[in-house]
């Protein structure tokens, strides 16, 4: 596609429920990142996928968070047993690896846990 597509754009869920967020990167972009941005805060790195390499999960805040990626295409971020502190905008970015190349972000999924 022309850009990074994320769905849903907004999600309201009850505390304790599981949610799944989806990211469709730009075709050909082998690197994919998930970030979280709480209201008024900076971006927090969550996880990074690069081709068939093992993902860098060092940013995942707890074992309730997991992410998968099918080949070099769609990625899903799953949050189990959601908590109110999980409320944030979850942003996905993709790029073609290589020094100096910029990242393209999706418009994000705004998650609200009530």
Partner 1 sequence: RKEVEQDPGPFNVPEGATVAFNCTYSNSASQSFFWYRQDCRKEPKLLMSVYSSGNEDGRFTAQLNRASQYISLLIRDSKLSDSATYLCVVNSYNQAGTALIFGKGTTLSVSS
Binding site for partner 1 (CB under 8 A): 31, 33, 35, 41-43, 45, 48, 50, 53-54, 56, 58-59, 91, 93, 97, 99-108
3-state secondary structure (DSSP) of residue 67: strand
Closer Cβ to partner 1, 20 or 56, answer by number: 56
Cα–chain center distance at 32: 8
Q: How far is CA 66 from CA 7, 10, 79, 100, 107, in A?
A: 17, 19, 7, 29, 20
- Nearer Cβ to partner 1 (16/96): 96
CB nearer partner 1, residue 64 or residue 110? 110
Q: What 8-state DSSP symbol labels residue 55?
A: P
* CB closer to partner 1 out of 14 and 99: 99
| Least distance CB 37 / partner 1 (angstroms) | 9
**Structural contact between residues 38 and 84, judged by C-beta atoms closer than 8 angstroms:** no
CB of 75 to partner 1, least distance (A): 15
């Amino acid at each position: 596609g022309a850009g990074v597509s994320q769905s849903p754009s907004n999600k309201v869920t009850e505390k304790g429920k599981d949610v799944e967020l989806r990211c469709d990167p730009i075709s050909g972009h082998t690197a994919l990142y998930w970030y979280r941005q709480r209201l008024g805060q900076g971006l927090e790195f969550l996880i990074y996928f690069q081709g068939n390499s093992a993902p860098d999960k060092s940013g995942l805040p707890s074992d309730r968070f997991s992410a998968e990626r099918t080949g070099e295409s769609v990625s899903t971020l799953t949050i189990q047993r959601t908590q109110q502190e999980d409320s944030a905008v979850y942003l996905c970015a993709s790029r073609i690896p290589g020094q100096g190349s910029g990242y393209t972000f999706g418009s994000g999924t705004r998650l609200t846990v009530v």
